[in-house]
Amino acid sequence: MKRTRPLVLVVFAVVGAGAGLLLQVILAAAGTAAASAPFTLALSLAVIGVLVVVFALPVRRAVRDRDKNRVDPFYATRVVILAKASSIAGSLLFGASGAIVGYLLTRTVIAAVGSIFASGAAVVGSIVLLVCGLVAENMCSLPPDDEDKGEKTLATERPH
């Protein structure tokens, strides 16, 4: 597996922003209330991000001290995939919640302060998820061998 590229995260953030803005425009055209993210979304995203890092800790310990600690390669694979999915989902939700906040702030009729703060908290929660996913992915990377001066690979390779 390769590391998550910044361009992929930017593309997902732009797609999320487009979807969030499109949702708000459709709701406004239908004459319904504008969408806002609940505060519990931000809390849930932050908790998920912290859990992803906690799941990556055993893999990090095994990578640092290969003689003492062994980790199941299937567990390492699952953690790396979860970390990658978390960073991509965090990027997508960052774009969507950022578009919602932007739309709420640029309306001629100002939305309720609670909905703006809750949507702003969703932006922060999605950033936490994005960063935690990238940190966990970095924690699962193998250092290069002495004879191999190449790029770091993720800890999904089977031990010899």
142 close to 63: Cβ distance less than 8 angstroms: yes
Q: Which residue ranges make up each domain of the chain? A: 6-143
pTM of the model: 0.83
91 close to 130: Cβ distance less than 8 angstroms: yes
Q: What pLDDT sits at residue 157?
A: 53
Q: How far is it, in rounded angstroms, from Cα 96 to Cα 127?
A: 12
Q: What pLDDT sits at residue 122?
A: 94
Q: What pLDDT sits at residue 64?
A: 80
Specify the higher pLDDT residue, 76 or 113. Answer: 76
Q: How far is it, in rounded angstroms, from Cα 40 to Cα 87?
A: 19
What string of DSSP letters covers 7-68? HHHHHHHHHHHHHHHHHHHHHHHHT-PPP---HHHHHHHHHHHHHHHHHHHHHHHHHH-TTT
Q: What pLDDT sits at residue 73?
A: 84
Each residue of 82-94: pLDDT tens digit? 999 999 999 999 9
Each residue of 95-148: pLDDT tens digit? 999 999 998 888 777 777 778 888 899 999 999 999 999 999 999 887 666 555
Average pLDDT over residues 9-30: 94
Provide, rounded to the nearest whole percent, the portion of the chain with pLDDT above 70.
Answer: 86
Provide, rounded to the nearest whole percent, the portion of the chain with pLDDT above 90.
Answer: 52
Specify the higher pLDDT residue, 68 or 32. Answer: 32
Instruction: Copy the structure tokens of residue 51.
Output: 């859990």
Each residue of 38-47: pLDDT tens digit? 889 999 999 9
Q: What pLDDT sits at residue 68?
A: 74
Instruction: Copy the structure tokens of residue 149.
Output: 């001066």
Specify the higher pLDDT residue, 107 or 75. Answer: 75
